[in-house]
Structure 1
């Protein structure tokens, strides 16, 4: 909640820089399935959504030029999303190896 308020305040303060950005095209934060129970298709879809999410936010950060605090928080959030996906992908791959070995 604090991040949302901080982002909004920063974006409003940046005025014209923010107005030039196409914020409406930002993809929603992806839902990442559990790697232990997800199908190949679910993991593939999650990967595509994570990639789109990160690309959208990177483009927004280049366009909007938010304050360094907001930028750092947004980048940290992107790293967390990528980290969660990578962790679940690791679980998925272990599960696939276990199934193939049995």
Structure 2
């Protein structure tokens, strides 16, 4: 498996994020059901943003992860201040 860390940048007090969070979470729930989503959640400091960890097939690339995450309503609606997707190697982990 290939793992990817997706960092979302948005203000902690963004009303657009709050308004669209339910459809964003529906998108993530679908990824979880498909066995793609490993974990996700917002950062709890005053800087805002969130982290999403996904797993794709062994040969997947950042471009594959990007294509998948382009369907997230937060991205489609253009309400993120930024997004970074990086391939990640969880050397020590609890993932099965």
Same fold (TM over 0.5): no
* Structure (1 or 2) with the greater strand fraction: 2
TM-score for the superposition, normalised by structure 1: 0.32
* Structure (1 or 2) with the greater helix fraction: 1
TM-score for the superposition, normalised by structure 2: 0.34
* Higher Rg of the two aligned structures: 1
